[in-house]
Structure 1
Amino acid sequence: MSGGSLADHTIGAFVRPRVLSDPRVRLVVVHHAGGSAAAYFPLSRLLPDDWELLLLDLPGRGKSHTQPPLADMSRLAAWAADRLRPWTGDVPLALFGHSLGAVVAYEAALLLQAEGRPPVWLGVSGRAAPGHPVPDGLPDTELPDDELMRHLTDMGGMHPRIAELPDFKARFLHLVRNDLRAVADYRPDPARPPLGIPLTVFGGSDDHVAPPGTQVGWVAQTLSRFERVVVNGGHFHFLGPAFPDFAALLTEEISQALRVAPDNPWEYRTSDA
């Protein structure tokens, strides 16, 4: 595996629902603000059997709960790239992020590309294009706890009983405030070169955080294949009953990217090969 043996801190940051000795593809998923790898666990049952799924827990939660949350996007991206780096090289690595995770995944992909080890595909969801004015869909980080909780509940993706667990609720709100600050203060560097890998943008037709029109500008972030997919739903368009359909979209987009990517070093082994 490129980059030497995997350090404990690298392995420990990921939830790995099924560990494969010779996967055809590795898909890394970066979660949304206030979320964790747990929300994306259903993908483990919906991807091809020979694809390995790695769910990254950002600092302050899940596998990374002992690390303090980071409220700075550049530090989050560097942290993520550090944990992705050893997984590049031996197996095609696809990278997907939703909302906060979309920005972390994009910035980490840029860092890895600058080192000559980019992922083979990037998928982003629920996020306006870099540099596009962000609508007022995200709550103010300085809101009182109860009001912030109401905003987050309205957005969806929240555990229905979180308000019944005061200690957990307090830890969650501390975490989500840091996540939201990282998003609010994010300013992309316009001088950086675009990605050279296929990029797919997913969006919900009724997403008030990242309406479809705010995502068009992602096309400028890659010199390779670009696709934009709009599905029915809001900010968390893929959760619940829609997860199987979304997993099928992910699978097709990654498979297509591997087939058509210019200078693709990977021999794409189709399921019937």
Structure 2
Amino acid sequence: MKKIRLLCFPHAGGSAATYNRWKKYLDSSIEVVPVELAGRGSRMKDCFYDSMPEAIDDVCSIISPLIKNCDYAVYGHSMGTIIAFELCHRLMEEGRREPLHLFVSGRYPPNIKRDEKYLSRLPDREFLDEIFSLGGTSKEIFKSRELLDIFIPILRADYRMIEKYKYTSYNKKFNFGITAFNGRADAVVSYDEITEWRQHTAARHPVYEFDGDHFFINEKTEEITEIINSTLRDFII
């Protein structure tokens, strides 16, 4: 049976471990490949990215051997959607093997203009309050200075990179489909905004909405992975 690799990119502050539990829910024909970003997890000693292009350069070097002779799809949540989106465009521009499908969640597409908050510039307490308001972060982290000393720099670096990111309009849409997921109680992105991902593909663009906040993927893992399974089964021979 042919294998499909699912490259997964985490939210701000997240690591590859975010997607480890997906392995038990995905079809045996789908190999989860959580991509570890610089400055966290097994790459804790690597310098944080200063910009999105720098992140894409690094990610390309990591995934290039993984996709050379293998079909693959891409998933990103929140910050991870922008990394996934820009990676797909980079691969397309370079004439590389393109993904079978792109899955995005918890983030409006980059063509939507907003007056963004510059959270990375806030003092620690205000910064953490903003992060905690999104959900998905345990209050226990506030009680450990050791954890905060690790967690805050990663979060600030990720938010700084996203705040500096400037979307450049691309002349060509993706030929592969985009599936978008959203939490009904997400304070960051609305249903109307998540549907705008359709502007970036010439193929199918379904949208699924779930109960939950910005981190609905933590509670809806089984439902999300089943949609991924059913989407990618069409490509399995």
- Structure-2 residue corresponding to 1:190: 169
CA shift, 1:165, in A, is 2.2
Matched residue SS, 1:161:
helix
Following the alignment from structure 2 to structure 1, what is the Cα–Cα distance between the partners of residues 100 and 207? 17
Contact 2:91 2:98 in 1 (8 A): yes
- Structure-1 residue corresponding to 2:12: 33
Range 39-48 or range 77-86, more displaced: 77-86
TM-score normalised per structure 1: 0.81
- Structure-2 residue corresponding to 1:85: 64
Q: Deviations over 1:8-39 (max 9, x none)?
A: xxxxxxxxxxxxxx762111110000111112
- Structure-2 residue corresponding to 1:238: 217
Identity of paired residues, percent?
25
Number of paired residues? Answer: 236
CA shift, 1:199, in A, is 1.1
Q: Deviations over 1:178-198 (max 9, x none)?
A: 101111222111144222211
Q: Alpha carbons of 1:248 and 1:255: their partners in 2 closer, same or farther (altered >3 Å)? A: same
- Structure-2 residue corresponding to 1:132: 112
RMSD (CA atoms): 1.8
Of the three residues 117, 120, 128, the one matched with 2:100 is 120
Contact 2:118 2:163 in 1 (8 A): no
Q: Aligned letter for 2:150?
A: R
Q: Alpha carbons of 1:135 and 1:253: their partners in 2 closer, same or farther (altered >3 Å)? A: farther
Following the alignment from structure 1 to structure 2, what is the Cα–Cα distance between the partners of residues 204 and 104? 20
Gaps of 5+ in 2: none
Higher helix share: 2
Contact 1:81 1:109 in 2 (8 A): no
Higher relative contact order (CA 8 A, sep 6+): 2
* Structure 1 residue ranges (4+ consecutive) displaced by more than 6 angstroms after TM superposition: none
Q: Aligned letter for 1:175?
A: I
Q: Deviations over 1:150-172 (max 9, x none)?
A: 22112112134212221221221
Written as runs of structure 1 = structure 2, the 5 A alignment for 1:52-71 is 52-71=31-50
Of the three residues 214, 230, 234, the one matched with 1:252 is 230
CA shift, 1:251, in A, is 1.5
Written as runs of structure 1 = structure 2, the 5 A alignment for 1:1-273 is 24-116=3-95, 117-134=97-114, 140-240=119-219, 242-256=220-234, 258=235, 268-269=236-237
Matched residue SS, 1:238:
helix
Matched residue SS, 2:162:
helix
Matched residue SS, 2:113:
coil
TM-score normalised per structure 2: 0.92
Gaps of 5+ in 1: 1-21, 259-267
Q: Deviations over 1:206-259 (max 9, x none)?
A: 21111111122211111222222222221111103x221121122223334x3x
Following the alignment from structure 1 to structure 2, what is the Cα–Cα distance between the partners of residues 134 and 83? 31
